[in-house]
Amino acid sequence: MDDDEKLPNAHNIASQDNEDDIEHKIVRMNVPYAQPGHGIVGTYFIGYARHFTVTQRMLNNMFSQSDRLLDFSTPITGSAFFIPSRRLLERIAEGDYFPEA
């Protein structure tokens, strides 16, 4: 379906980050898990982005626009991690990122 055929709160419409009329993308992964004996099912969602603001805007959009995904799933928790680039790690190892240390 084209985007204009979907409901405005369809997940892949509501979550879009179109700041400054540019559709900003993130790399997305879902890892399902289950403990069937305990009635537990779910998925870990992981979003990789150069700038956390993109992911944050997507999350804000999902909650403020009643993303349809939230009718079927319950967010439990979340975390943000910083992954340094290879170049930054090299600079830290070379001692020129924290020169006072």
Q: Which two tokens stand for residue 100?
A: 């006072």
Q: How far is the CB of 9 from ligand HEM (least distance, A)?
A: 13
Nearer to ligand HEM, 60 or 89 (CB): 60
The contact set with ligand HEM (CB under 6 A) reads 11-12, 15-16, 25, 28, 30, 43, 45, 47, 55, 58-59, 69, 73
Give me the least distance between CB of 20 and ligand HEM, in Å please.
Answer: 16
Nearer to ligand HEM, 75 or 84 (CB): 75
Q: For 54, left (φ over 0), alpha (ψ -120 to 50), or beta?
A: alpha
CB 17 within 8 A of CB 58: yes
Sign of torsion, CA 6 11 17 23? negative
Question: CB nearest ligand HEM: which residue?
Answer: 58
